[in-house]
């Protein structure tokens, strides 16, 4: 069983100018993350644009990722779809390719009851004999996975943890409290501003989109915390605030990808139509990247 911990990167999916997959650059980005000390690679998170990739593209991205990682860190495959049937199909594909964990986002668009969400995850877990990580991001899906539902799901052996991207500190704390009843149930922050708070409260780490831009800095939050270097961990945590402030100008994963491009990596744009940024936003992003470069952030 994979131990879920540390800073996991929801790796972005590089594209060519025509929006086709750039698998060679994906390999470059994976090496960049591992060399920086990142603890896991997660294809098809929000930053990986899993929502806009077709089945064949997901197969190619995941196959390439697993080959490149080569067992050096765990691979978390985002396999959640709107339907239970398609989620099972994607999860079985991930298992066949050799992923270590499947991360399953809540179904989206149609409103789901907590009982429907419970049955969805239970059915998937029973059909896929591998570790399952729950993924709560209600602002994107429209469906919140409440702490009491997570607690019920934690009783299923191969549901091994949950990522909370609600941005609600009280909700994240309620998730972490579930560990008091099942100590091997891992809780990860999906909000980069709450990583250190999550660790202090008893969580295991984060799936951190900003790690695509600053992998050394994000990895150091966890490493400093584990080494009981809390002052250094806090400095690392605080250092990403200016970059996150740029999110006010547009879609966060669009800004993350544009930032990686401005750092000199040919990762391409997010797929249309989710790739716009105003001139004001570009100016703010360039300013922050330059300031952080002078501070030695990488």
Average pLDDT over residues 151-162: 97
pLDDT in tens, 3-62: 999 999 999 999 999 999 999 999 999 999 999 999 999 999 999 999 999 999 999 999
Q: Quote the mean pLDDT of the chain.
A: 97
Q: What backbone phi and psi angles, to 5 degrees, belong to 8?
A: -110, 135
Asked whether residue 29 is assigned to any structural domain, the reply reads yes
Residue 9 confidence (pLDDT): 98
Q: Which residues contact 132 (CB under 8 A, 6 or more apart)?
A: 91, 101, 102, 104, 121, 124, 125, 158, 159, 160
Asked whether residue 285 is assigned to any structural domain, the reply reads no
CATH number for the domain harbouring residue 81: 3.20.20.70
DSSP per-residue codes, 59-114: HHHHHHHHHHHTTSS-BEEE---SSHHHHHHHHHHHHHHT-SEEEEEPP-SS---H
Asked whether residue 40 is assigned to any structural domain, the reply reads yes
CA atoms within 13 A on the CB side of 99: 32
Residue 183 confidence (pLDDT): 85
Asked whether residue 262 is assigned to any structural domain, the reply reads no
Report the catalytic residues: 135, 163
Asked whether residue 295 is assigned to any structural domain, the reply reads no
Residue 59 confidence (pLDDT): 98
Q: How many structural domains is the chain composed of? A: 1
Asked whether residue 188 is assigned to any structural domain, the reply reads yes
Asked whether residue 238 is assigned to any structural domain, the reply reads no
Asked whether residue 237 is assigned to any structural domain, the reply reads no
Domain boundaries, position 223: 6-230
Residue 137 confidence (pLDDT): 96
DSSP run (H or E) holding 162: strand 159-164
Other residues' Cβ atoms within 10 Å of the Cβ of residue 122: 17
Average pLDDT over residues 284-289: 98
Residue 1 confidence (pLDDT): 72
pLDDT in tens, 230-263: 999 999 999 999 999 999 999 999 999 999 999 9
- Indicate whether 2 pLDDT > 90: no
């Amino acid at each position: 069983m994979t131990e879920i911990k540390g800073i996991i990167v929801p790796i972005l999916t590089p594209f060519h100018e025509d929006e086709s997959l750039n698998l060679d650059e994906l390999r470059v980005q994976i090496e960049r993350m591992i060399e920086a000390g990142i603890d896991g690679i997660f294809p098809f998170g929000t930053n990986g644009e899993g929502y806009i990739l077709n089945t064949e593209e997901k197969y190619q991205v995941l196959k390439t990722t697993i080959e490149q990682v080569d067992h050096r860190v765990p691979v978390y495959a985002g396999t959640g779809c709107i339907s239970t049937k398609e989620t099972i199909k994607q999860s079985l594909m991930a298992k066949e390719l050799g992923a270590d964990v499947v991360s399953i986002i809540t179904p989206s668009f149609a409103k789901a009851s907590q009982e429907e969400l419970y049955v969805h995850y239970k059915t998937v877990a029973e059909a896929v004999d591998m570790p399952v990580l729950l993924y709560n991001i209600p602002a994107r899906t429209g469906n919140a996975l409440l702490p009491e539902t997570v607690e019920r799901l934690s009783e299923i052996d191969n549901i091994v943890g949950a990522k909370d991207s609600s941005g609600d500190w009280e909700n994240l704390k309620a998730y972490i409290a579930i560990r008091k009843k099942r100590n091997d149930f891992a809780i990860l922050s999906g909000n980069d501003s709450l990583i250190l708070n999550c660790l202090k409260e008893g969580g295991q780490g984060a799936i951190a989109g900003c790690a695509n831009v600053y992998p050394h800095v994000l990895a150091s939050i966890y490493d400093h915390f584990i080494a009981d270097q809390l002052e250094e961990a806090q400095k690392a945590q605080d250092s990403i605030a200016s970059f996150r402030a740029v999110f006010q100008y547009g879609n966060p994963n669009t800004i993350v990808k544009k930032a990686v491009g401005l750092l000199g990596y040919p990762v391409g744009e997010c797929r249309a139509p989710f790739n716009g940024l105003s001139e004001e936003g570009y100016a703010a992003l360039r300013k922050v990247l330059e300031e952080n470069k002078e501070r030695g952030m990488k």
